[in-house]
A and B are shown apart, each in its own frame.
Chain A
Amino acid sequence: MTSLTARDKTTVKAFWNKISGHGPMIGQDALTRMLAVYPQTKTYFAHWKDQSPTSESAKKHGMTVMGGVADAVTKIDDLSGGLLGLSELHAFTLRVDPSNFKILAHNIMVVMAIMFPVDFTPEVHVAMDKFLAALARALAEKYR
């Protein structure tokens, strides 16, 4: 898979600037949708008292994850280096199967399309898809 071009990075940063205030809400909705549409993802949250898609735990976790994405935007020029801590966390502690990064990315983009139907153009979509894929690769880098 390709790395991010200068245009990809500019596009992602510009779009993020527009929407960053809604970050937590995007995260909450994306996590809710992920659990509702892909129930197998609930297997990672067996420790929650309430694993339903709209639980407080789910919403809170969505915000946490989106905080990570926001951070990644600021480190877009060096995702591997910038996300080292998170990468180790996912590799040695969380061990989330990488296929799930794609699932969550899809749901993040569904929410972006819902909340920003005009701004989430095909050009923004492709840049964001590439960015989230690059972010997923950085998170899975230390897996093996």
Chain B
Amino acid sequence: MVAWSEQERSIIANLFSNLDYEDVGAKALTRCLIVYPWTQRYFGGFGNLYNAEAIKMNPNIAAHGVKILHGLDRALKNMDNIKETYAELSVLHSEKLHVDPDNFKLLSDVLTIVIAAKLGTDFTPEVQATFQKFLAVVVSALGKQYQ
């Protein structure tokens, strides 16, 4: 089980309570598909991904990005039990979606950069460390049920 200080819990709660899911979710997935184009392999049925402009304007991608971001809410609400909380989603990503777990880290890095752009200097080294720790725990939990 991962240990969280009061400070860390507060940072995470604060970050998510002020989060513009529609904006950040769309931007994060869009940016991931542009910066790491091989991740497009999972989005064959999502419409035009031909170039960066098309990806940015693709409403299916935007909507899916928001959905993925809301996936983090489970961790937010169960910080002391993230591994068990994501067991089902882990099986889904492995058995049904067949997502290479290395890709979780890519999206995680891109999300960090999108949030950094959004928060500016409020994204202090301490906030960054806490947020990245949070994402790393989620990423680990998502990869746990792969076999």
Contacts and interface: CB of A to CB of B under 8 A. Distances in A.
Interface in B112-145: 112-114, 116-121, 123, 125-126, 128-129, 132
Contacts of A109: 113
Given A109-B113, A110-B116, A117-B120, A122 B56 contact: yes
Contacts of A37: 125, 128-129, 132
Nearest to A125: B35
Contacts of A53: 125
Nearest to B110: A125
A122 B32 CA distance: 8
Interface residues of A, number: 18
Contacts, number: 51
Given A106-B109, A123-B34, A126-B34, A114 B125 contact: no
B52 interface: yes
Given A53-B125, A122-B31, A125-B31, A113 B116 contact: yes
12 contacts: A36-B128, A36-B129, A113-B114, A113-B117, A114-B116, A114-B123, A122-B30, A122-B31, A122-B34, A122-B35, A123-B52, A125-B31
Given A122-B35, A122-B52, A110 B128 contact: yes
Interface of B: 30-31, 34-35, 52, 56, 109, 112-114, 116-121, 123, 125-126, 128-129, 132
A88 interface: no
A105 to B, nearest CB: 10
A53 B129 CA distance: 12
A2 to B, nearest CB: 10
A37 B118 CA distance: 19
A16 interface: no
A129 B119 CA distance: 21
B114 A36 contact: no
Nearest to A116: B117
